[in-house]
A and B are shown apart, each in its own frame.
Chain A
Amino acid sequence: MNEAAVRLTGVSKKFGELWANRNVTLDIQQKSIHAIVGENGAGKSTLTRMIYGLLSPTSGSIAIKGKTVRFNSPRQAIAMGIGMVHQHFMLIPELTVTENIMLGDERGRLLASLKKTDASRKIRDFADFHTLAVDPDAYVSDLSVGEEQRVEILKLLYREADILILDEPTAVLTPSETEQLFATLKSLQLEGKTIILITHKLDEVLSISDTVSVMRKGEIVATETTASVTKSDLARMMVGRNVLLRIEHPLETPGKCVLKVSHLSVTDRKGIGRINDLSFEVRAGEIYGIAGVEGNGQRELLDLLWGMGEQQYRTSGSVTLDGTSLRGMNPAEIASSGVSFIPEDRLKHAVIPGFSIEENIILGRHREKRFLRFAGFDEAGVKNYTKNMIDRYDVRYDLRSNPPLGSLSGGNQQKIVLAREIDRPDLKMLILAQPTRGVDIGAIEMIHKKIIEIRDKGIAVFLVSTELDELISLSTRIGCLYKGSIRHEFSSEEIRKGRSAELDFEKEIGMFIT
């Protein structure tokens, strides 16, 4: 019987009054792929940061390959063969792949000249051996996100790590890059590496891991063999209650055309065509989904719909809302004509963390007369409105302390954005970009319900997502965006049929977007 690669015994970590991890006992077997899942804030990151020596436990012990350790810094963890790929890569864009890999591990004396050509040859062989295709002489700034991730993994392998921790590795990858990553992880496993995978995507857990541990509120609630659990089992364990993974889908009754995009073409600053002769319509009371791999024109399209594209791109064609052109309007004008936009990176683009909840709930709507009094705000009115919205959307925080929004949990921040944008007066169209990215399962359910609710009120919903199951479950029609134009459009009958054989339908959509 071989030793566990990582053994945690009664490990706890306390930040102030808060237990980030409480009494965690966990064995991670050697040569296994062990997934750790949990909602945001469940303590996954804290746990791995302790294994990697970035944090030290308040109590409990950690043993690596049978040897009890107490790390003061990642340096010691690295020496024990532990490596970590962080969610945000730690690469220096101005240096080449080789230089990045050698950084901190130059294997030479101070002032000795670095044998970079040797190193680069060595790294090329090394990369080939692990089938991690990347050019050792390329500058990191020129690499794609997937390639950067490969460099991070190579860096660990170069340092002879045999326990690899990956924190949300697929969050930034396209579906094909994800597939490639998983193939790499499988082959690393065959070479005898142990892999710890932090994620909240349940499908990924099921498809790649051997063992899965579920965390909730800082504790491990279950560790199971992956083959013995289902997606809904995991969801239930994560959230602590039954979760509706599939939304009820009452029949839609689409009305007149609200948004009409016709013959839209967009060229970026470098002269590269991003959108080519794109045409589609979104009708009142329907959800029009855009499926597509990132980088096929979604960003440019969203920029244009929100009045932020004209300065950046050269554009031709027309974009109209109820017959009025949106081109040439700025975000404030578009918003006041009845459009709400929930951008993909909500925490960066939709809220101001240093502002109070009240100040955030009127952000972008602060010109509405109902909130104004003289040159300033009707403070009592805003307060009442906030209270009302907080009740309706079940935002949880301590009302008395009036904290900055940034101190709320991600889920609660999302709810505030949603509340604000959905409640816009005379709303005609709601634009959503990746509405559930980085969102907890419990909150996804709520967001999906709200989207359907909005649709049933006769509002046009425009949904851009890379999650096919989300699109299939919500959309009335789906446009497959490929290289800046709609390559195929699925009708509502096709989608309704597709829902009964979802996997096949996903594959069918997949064919039109790659």
Chain B
Amino acid sequence: MRNRFLKFAVPLFAVAGALLVSALLIMVTGRDPLIIYQKMLSMTFGSDYGTGQIVFRTTSLILTGLAVAIPFKVKLFNIGGEGQVLAGALAAAVVGIVLPPQTPPFAAIFICSLSAMMAGSSAALLAGWLKVRFGVNEVISTIMLNFIIQAFAGYLLTWHLALPSTVHTPEIIHAARIPMFDSVIGIWHKSPANFSTFFALAACLAMWIMVFKTTTGYEMRAAGMRPDAANYAGINTDAHIIRAMGIGGAMAGLASVNLVLGYKHFFEAGLTSGIGFMGIAVALLAFAHPFWIIASALLFGFLEYGGLSVNAYVPKDIFMMVQAVTILMILVLTKIFRRPA
């Protein structure tokens, strides 16, 4: 009873509190917060294009949110979403370029997506293996892997992949492109929103089933809550650590599909930057629950694009602060409400 109430109340309070803080900041810049908020709404959900932009951003955030949420079930903090998305984007682009042009569309999309997931997954698996084998803290190893992947991607792009005098690769084959909503059903005019949104929604459903309805998820949750008790019950906790990291990394990899196959159709420098880290916030706000992640990603997608849309009046950095304040509020509020009964 109490728990159910808190599940709703804490995120709502946090978001409301953060908006209040941002209102104060907007006032400091000399603008009327109500007017800014109104403008923001009309340029986001109020407009066809804006809505599409939000859907587009939400899609990636859902998946990077899952990338944090699944390892969270075994009490691992995957900070490596950033690097894992990047690895995925690189893999999707490279495979998309080298595939023969006559590959059938579904096969091409499938192969590219799978490569992206495998690339993201292997980065995360490495961190999981380091944890199990040598006890390396996954926070540290995933941060380090972020640096390594960023540097490696930068090197590959500049020295081998980029078209001369550009910072992007050639385009992927047509068959590997995921169609945009605009071009197929004519909604969200000119926005980058594409059908990979369904990948993200399907992933949420699949993760929910995996975590709460399968024996694997049961064992995984047991291993996360009480590793000792899980071991005594014959559950291989190490295997679950590795598995959860692998799945998380795959989700991050899949997030890149939205950008590479659905939007840009090539890989460029900075294409994925920020969405991996934002996934941490998305997962925290949603208490790592696969369904709440959809709502949470929508909020962050809205703040991100909304901030951009009113950039002419107030600096968009204010909305980055809102996002951070929301997370801090969540952490504080859960502590406050979680008093011993």
Contacts and interface: CB of A to CB of B under 8 A. Distances in A.
Q: Do A and B bind each other?
A: yes
Interface in B210-225: 213-216, 218-219, 221-222, 225
A350 B215 contact: no
A103 to B, nearest CB: 26
A349 B232 contact: yes
Contact of B229 (A330, A334, A363, A367): A363
Contact of B341 (A16, A331, A349): A16
A363 B215 CA distance: 11
Contacts of B209: 376
Contacts of A363: 222, 229, 233
A358 to B, nearest CB: 11
Given A376-B213, A401-B1, A341 B232 contact: yes
A348 B215 contact: no
Interface in A1-56: 15-16
B47 interface: no
Contacts of A350: 229, 232
Chain B, interface SS category: helix
B232 A377 contact: no
B31 interface: no
A359 to B, nearest CB: 7
Nearest to A348: B228
A180 B113 CA distance: 69
Nearest to A307: B234
Interface in B1-41: 1
Contacts of A352: 222, 225-226, 229-230
Most buried by A among B1, B219, B232, B341: B232
B231 interface: yes
Contact of B215 (A334, A341, A377): A377
Nearest to B212: A376
A348 B228 CA distance: 7
A306 B218 contact: no
Interface in A349-363: 349-355, 359, 363
Given A16-B341, A331-B234, A332-B234, A348 B229 contact: yes
A367 B219 CA distance: 10
A364 B233 contact: yes
B214 A375 contact: yes
Given A375-B215, A375-B216, A376-B214, A364 B234 contact: yes
A65 interface: no
21 contacts: A306-B232, A331-B232, A331-B233, A334-B234, A335-B234, A343-B232, A348-B226, A348-B229, A349-B229, A349-B232, A355-B221, A359-B222, A364-B233, A364-B234, A366-B215, A375-B213, A375-B214, A375-B216, A376-B209, A376-B214, A377-B218
Interface of B: 1, 209, 213-216, 218-219, 221-222, 225-226, 228-236, 341
Interface of A: 15-16, 306, 308, 330-335, 341, 343, 348-355, 359, 363-364, 366-367, 372, 375-377, 401, 407
